Amino acid sequence: MQSIRSKLLIGLIKNRHLFKLKLKPEIVDESFDVKKFRDHIDKASGKFNKIPADIKIESIKIGEMYAEIIIPKGASNEKVALYIHGGGFISGTCHTHRMHVVKFVKSCGVKMLLFNYRLAPEHPFPAALVYITGF
C-alpha cells in the first residue's frame, strides 16, 4: 500500500508547474531542461532518503553501471527481485527510487536490486534497454 508520504511526493512532482504559477505542465520537447528537471527530482528525493535501521544497502558495480542491493533484515540469500525504476528514460536513479524499494523490501522480506541505467538525451533510445538486457 502506498504511503501518504509517497502520495504527497508524487503529487508534488506531477503538479510542480503550479509552484511556478503555470496552469499547464511542462512539455518534454527539445527545449525541456533535463538537467534542471533531474536536479529538482534529486533534491526532492533527498528529503525522504532516511534509511531505516533494519535495512542494509550494498553498493555494487555491474560492468560500468552503478547498482544497489537493498536488503531487509532477515532476507533469504536465495531470492532477489529486480526493480527497474521509472522516469521516462530521462530521469531516475538509485537515489531517487531508493525509498520506494525500501518500502517494497520491508513488505515482502526479499532483497531487491536497483540500478542506474543509461538515460536520454545523453544516451538516446534504445541505449537504456540495450544496456539493461545486454543485447
Determine the pLDDT at residue 135: 45
Q: Three-state SS string across 66-77, please?
A: EEEEEEECCCCC
Determine the pLDDT at residue 108: 92
Contacts of 30 (CB under 8 A, 6+ apart): none
Full pLDDT tens readout for the chain, 135 residues: 778 887 887 888 788 888 888 888 877 778 888 898 899 888 888 777 789 999 999 999 988 889 999 999 999 999 999 999 988 888 899 999 999 899 999 999 999 999 998 888 888 888 777 666 554
Contact predicate 79/70, CB 8 Å? no
Determine the pLDDT at residue 78: 92
Beta pairing, strands 65-72 & 111-115: antiparallel
What CATH number does domain 4-133 carry, 2.60.40.10, 2.60.120.200, 3.30.450.20, 3.40.50.1820?
3.40.50.1820
pTM: 0.75
